[in-house]
Structure formats: C-alpha cells, structure tokens
Amino acid sequence: MEGIVHVFQAFADPTRLRLLNLLRHEKELCVCDLSAALSEEQPKVSRHLAILRQANLVSVRNEGRWKFYELARKTPKLQRRLLRSLDAVNPLETEDTFGNDQQRMAGLVLRLRCR
C-alpha cells in the first residue's frame, strides 16, 4: 500500500508533473538542464527527482559529478498507465506551462549544458 501512496504523491505536485513531461520528450537530462527548463533552483529540482525515483518513475545515471535522469525503463503497470495518462491531460490547462518548459529546454545554449 505504501508504494501506491508514493506513486500518487509523486503525481500530485505540479513541479514533478513538469519534470515528467520534459523527460517524456527527451531521452536523458541532467539536473542543471531540468533546473534551467523549469526556472527552478537545482536543490528543489533534485528533491523532486528523488521523490520520482522513490516512486519508480525515473532512473538516474551518474557520470562523474553529473547526474542524468530519464524515465524509468522498467516501471510497474500502475506507473506506466499514469505516465500514459499525461497524454490525456487537457492541453488548455497545461499547454502554457508545459510549452514554456519545452521552449526553455530547446533554447538552452549547448555549451552551457552538462554534456
């Protein structure tokens, strides 16, 4: 039961939904990319990513001092279904926020990115 609670808590926060949306459209992103795209401080983004990891929604790969995140490849059925449900979200309620995040991500200067 506790695992299900963690999953729903992970989906209950707008910042975490924004992170999931960005990771759905990119293969892998580091914390600094995600922070820049969301215009949020890195420690806040890291805390939200930790919650998403605990809910088995994202996985992390360490490369030196950088941490790269992606949607978890092997997720339980509940998480897969909830991730797919993001496609059904009313675009009129989210397009500004999600769209702005994706525009900022696309506008990141490559030399400033972690890779």
**DSSP string of 45-103, one letter each residue:** HHHHHHHHHHTTSEEEEEETTEEEEEE-SS--HHHHHHHHHGGGS-HHHHHHHHHHHHH
Grouping H, G, I as helix, E, B as strand and the rest as coil, residue 30 is strand
* Confidence class for position 81, pLDDT limits 50, 70, 90: confident
Who has greater pLDDT, 24 or 80?
24
CA torsion through residues 42, 38, 9, 26, sign? negative
* Confidence class for position 97, pLDDT limits 50, 70, 90: confident
The reported pTM is 0.80
Cβ–Cβ < 8 Å for 79, 58: no
Q: Which CATH number fits domain 2-107: 3.40.50.10440, 3.30.300.130, 3.30.1360.120, 1.10.10.10?
A: 1.10.10.10
Q: Each residue of 29-58: b (16+ CB within 10 Å) or e?
A: bbbbbbbbbbeeeeeebeebbebbeebbbb
